[in-house]
Amino acid sequence: MLSKACKYAIRAMIYLASRAHEEVKINIKELAAEIDSPEPFTAKIMQSLSKQQIVSSLKGPNGGFYLTPTQAQVPLLEIVKAIDGLNSISDCGLGLRYCSDTNPCPIHLEFSQIRDGFTQLLTDNTIASLATQLQAGHTQLKRIK
């Protein structure tokens, strides 16, 4: 349901929120390494989020990306909206243009339930709440080798 860019964006935001209490700015090299994402791709994603004021950035030798307390409270749905748009989670599971409750595709009912549950997850979880789990060591953002 989510693009690779959107997954990286969510991971980057969680990492930034996990470091927010340190009041540091994270450079793109560190950020990309911590979320297992290619640097140029991460930079492009973060620039997009910065333009939409979902993340803050500062240029220069001591610059980087960081989150304000308000930005850390953003629900995941806002990141999905910024990167993929809401159609990515509302479209038909089979990609049909005119699928609806009155004109359903073969998987419409089951897929609608999954999509609704996923949308609820994106709405209920903030970046900060997921960062807390990361800080506690209960979750991870990159593959264990």
Q: What's the whole-model pTM score?
A: 0.91
- DSSP letter at 104 equals -
CA gyration radius for the chain? 17
CB 14 within 8 A of CB 135: no
The least confident of 10-14, 109-113, 121-125, 138-142 is: 138-142
CB 75 within 8 A of CB 126: yes
Which CATH number among 1.25.40.10, 1.10.10.10, 3.10.20.30, 2.160.10.10 corresponds to the domain 4-135?
1.10.10.10
In the chain, where are the structural domains located?
A: 4-135
Other Cβ atoms closer than 10 A to 126: 19
Mean pLDDT in the chain? Answer: 94
pLDDT of 62 higher than 90: no
Q: How confident is the model at residue 25 (pLDDT cuts 50, 70, 90)?
A: very high
The residue to which tokens 């969680």 are assigned: 14
Model confidence pLDDT, tens digit, residues 70-88: 999 999 999 999 999 998 8
